[in-house]
Amino acid sequence: MKARSKRPLFIGALTLTIAVTVWAVFSLRDDTSILSIFVRYEESRMGGSADTFYGVMVRMSWYVKLRRYDDAVRVGNAWATRNPNDESSVRIYMLISGLYLRRAQLDKTHADEYVSRAMLYRDKMLPLDSNTVYGLCELAALSEAGGDLSEVQRCVQYRNTIRFWDHLTKMLREQRAVAPREGAFTVPRKGTSAEYVLTVEDIDSILERTRKATAEVQGKMQKSGCAER
């Protein structure tokens, strides 16, 4: 019963992770949207101290609101550099990557440069994010967005996207092979000590979502004239 009660939570959380990552990349039509919703409560609760993760998020939010994008990057990067082993640094790097992708969307003339910077911060996420379901979804979403926004890097980033999905597929299939039928297989809930319990059915559902995502990117590659992998 425990496995079955938690199973929908994990599938929903995974879907939300993919949606939020894509939203974080493209939702800056209102320049504060990527950060202000996240920090609205924490700003009042924690007072915005620059020494805390939430405080840094508040400062970044205000810099983005003022269109001081370089300052937002500087503050976030400084905190992550001081806290290299803190899992929250991955969230900072993801937001910086998304911010550069938004700048690429706004400034077509310098899109390739901004996408390159975005991918630099995506790569900073790799040590902590490249072997988790959530992390691989985030890395794939950022890479696909980079391919969408840069003609020069389009095929390279689409290939990177597929590599991340392929890695996730391989990891899930290996886990599926040892997952018991009644759901004692667990994965950590990102950023907490809690765990989600998965069944074979759960893993199959995630694999199907991954298959569809891979097919979509392969379709983009074909339309863009990218060479076969």
Residue 200 lies in a domain: yes
Beta-carbon count within 10 A of 56 CB: 28
Q: Which pLDDT value is given to residue 162?
A: 96
- Domains contained in the chain, number: 1
Q: Could you tell me which of 99, 173, 174 has the C-alpha nearest to residue 142?
A: 99
| pTM of the complete model beyond 0.85 | no
- Residue pair 24/2 in contact (Cβ under 8 Å)? The answer is no
Residue 93 backbone class (left: φ over 0; alpha: ψ -120 to 50; beta: rest): alpha
pLDDT tens digits, residue range 21-65?
Answer: 544 444 444 444 444 444 444 444 444 455 788 888 888 888 888
pLDDT tens-digit series, residues 101-113: 989 998 999 999 9
Instruction: Print the domain residue range for 181.
Output: 2-224
Does residue 115 register a pLDDT over 60?
yes
The pLDDT score that the predictor gives to residue 49 is 55
In a domain, 229, yes or no: no
Residue 188 domain flag: yes
Task: Name the average pLDDT for the chain.
Answer: 76
| Structure token pair of residue 96 | 């910086």
Give the ranges where 107-199 is alpha helix by DSSP (H).
111-124, 126-129, 133-149, 154-178
Distance CA 150, CA 66 (A): 26
Q: Residue 212 domain-assigned? A: yes
pLDDT tens digits for range 202-211: 788 889 989 9
pLDDT of residue 36: 47
Report if residue 172 sits inside a domain. Answer: yes
- List CB contacts of 118: < 8 A, sequence separation 6 or more: 96, 97, 98, 100, 101, 104, 142, 145, 146
Reported as a single tens digit per residue, the pLDDT across 133-145 is: 878 888 999 999 9
